[in-house]
Amino acid sequence: MPPSALTVPPAQIAKVMQGCPVIKLADLGSSSLLSNPGRALKLVNSRGEFLACGVVDPENEAFHVFSWDPDEAPDDRLLIQRARAAFRLRERLGLIPPDRRLEAAFRLLNGEGDGLPGFLVEVLGPYAVQYVLAKGLREWGRRLIAAVVESARELGLQTPGGEPWPRGVLQKLRGKDSARPGKPVQWVEHGEEPPEKLLVKEGDFSFEVHPLAGLNVGLFGDMREHRARIGRFARGVKVLNTFAYTGTLSVAAAAAGSLEVTSVDLSSGVLKWAEENFRLAGLDPDRHRFEASDVLRFLRQAAMEGRQYGLVILDPPTYSAARAASWSLKNHLGELIESSLALLPPGGILWLSVNSHQMGGPELEAQLRESAAASRRGLALLEEGGPAPDFPTAITFPEGRHLKLRILRVW
C-alpha cells in the first residue's frame, strides 16, 4: 500500500526542505495521520508536490524522514538500499575484513547518519543487536533486520566459524522508559539468541561484551579510534581513568606502557569486568589499581594525599543515580574538571570526553575556560575529536553528534 499523503503547513515547508532528518510532529500540524505509530507518510505541499517521506513516531513526538527523493518510498526496497550502503561504507573503513569473517564490533547503522532515523544496528562479532527508539517502530525494525540479513548474504559475510552471518539478531527497545534498571525489553528477531558473554576483537585486543545485559553491552564503539591513540599520552606516566566502566581505555593505556593505571568506577561489578579485559589483553591486573568509589570523592581524597598523574581521563555519563551517589553532567562537570586539574602537574594531560546532545562544543569549551580560571591553571588544546566514522551524523542534525573529545595540556 502506498503511503498516505500529509499536507505540510506552508510556514513549515522550508524547514522540511532544509534536510533535517527528524521533524517535530507539532511542526506538521494536527492531522490524525500523525497519531499512528510507525505509519508511513509522504509529505506534500498544498499543490500535492512531494517534499519528503518517512514514518511517524508519536512516542518521541517526531517524524523520521527517510528520503527527500520523490522516486523513493518508505518500503522494503528503501531499507535494502540503506543496508547495502551501510555495509559498503563499513567495508571502505576496513571494518569488514577481506576474508569476510566478522569478529570485531562496529556500528553498522547509525540512525539519521545512515538515512534511517530511529534505528541503530551494532555488529558484535557473529551477532548483531538492533536498537529501535520507540515501540511503534518495532515492525519497521523487523523489516530492517530482514534487509540487513539479505545484504549480508549478498556480500558473503560469515561468522568466525565460517557460517553465514549473522548467527542471530537481538532487537532491543530503546524508548523513553528504557533507562530503568534491569534488562531492556528485547527479542530475538533472527537466528539464535546471543550468549550472555561474548568476545569481540578491536585491533590487537579482545574485549568481553554482554549482549543480553543492559542497553550498554560493555564496549563503546564510538571511542574506538581514540582508544587506539591514547597510548601517545599514557606511555611512561601514571594514568587515572575515571568513570572507567569496563576498563577499555585503561587497557589501551596500560598496553601502551603506562607506569600504572588506576581505574575508578562506582560499580565493583564493572571493575571486575575491567580486570578480565586486562587479562584478555595479556596484562596483569595486579600491577594496576581498581577503585570502587564515587569519582568526585576519590578525586578529593587523592588531592588530600598529594597524588599526581601524567594523564587523567574523564569520560563521565550524562547522568547517573547509582546507589547513594548522584551525578549529572550539567551540575557536576565543573567540579570534576577542577578536581582533576589538582592532580595534574605542569605538562600533564587532561583527556575529556562528553557524550551528550545537550552540551555542544561551545558550551564544553566555556566550561573548560571557567574551570581553568577557577583553578588558576592554563589549558592548551592539543586535539579535539568526535565519534568513529562508522557513527556518521547528518550535517543538518548536529544533535545526533553526541561525542565531543578534548585533549588538553595543563600548565
Return the residue matching grid coordinates 534488562: 183
**Segment holding 231, helix H or strand E:** helix 231-234
- What's the rounded Cα separation, in Å, for the pair 357 and 90? 24
Predicted structure pTM score:
0.94
Between the alpha carbon of residue 27 and those of residues 9, 18, 31, 233, the distances in Å are 8, 14, 11, 47
- What's the rounded Cα separation, in Å, for the pair 405 and 223? 9
Return the residue matching grid coordinates 505541499: 45
pLDDT in tens, the chain (411 residues): 678 999 999 999 998 999 999 999 999 999 999 999 999 999 999 999 999 999 999 999 999 999 999 999 999 999 999 999 999 999 999 999 999 999 999 999 999 999 999 999 999 999 999 999 999 999 999 999 999 999 999 999 999 999 999 999 999 998 766 555 556 799 999 999 999 999 999 999 999 999 998 889 999 999 999 999 999 999 999 999 999 999 999 999 999 999 999 999 999 999 999 999 999 999 999 999 999 999 999 999 999 999 999 999 999 988 675 544 577 888 889 999 999 999 999 999 999 999 988 788 889 999 999 999 999 999 999 999 999 999 999 999 998 999 999 999 999
Which of 80, 31, 19 shows the shortest CA–CA distance to 56?
A: 31
Residue 8's region, left for phi above 0, alpha for psi from -120 to 50, else beta, is: beta
What would the DSSP string read from start to end of 166-216? PSEEEEEE-STTTTSSSPPPEEEEEE-PPPSSEEEEETTEEEEE-TTSSS-
The one-letter amino acid at 135: K
Contact 258, 281 (CB under 8 A): no
Edge-to-edge order in the sheet of strand 379-385: 289-292, 260-265, 238-242, 311-314, 349-355, 403-410, 379-385
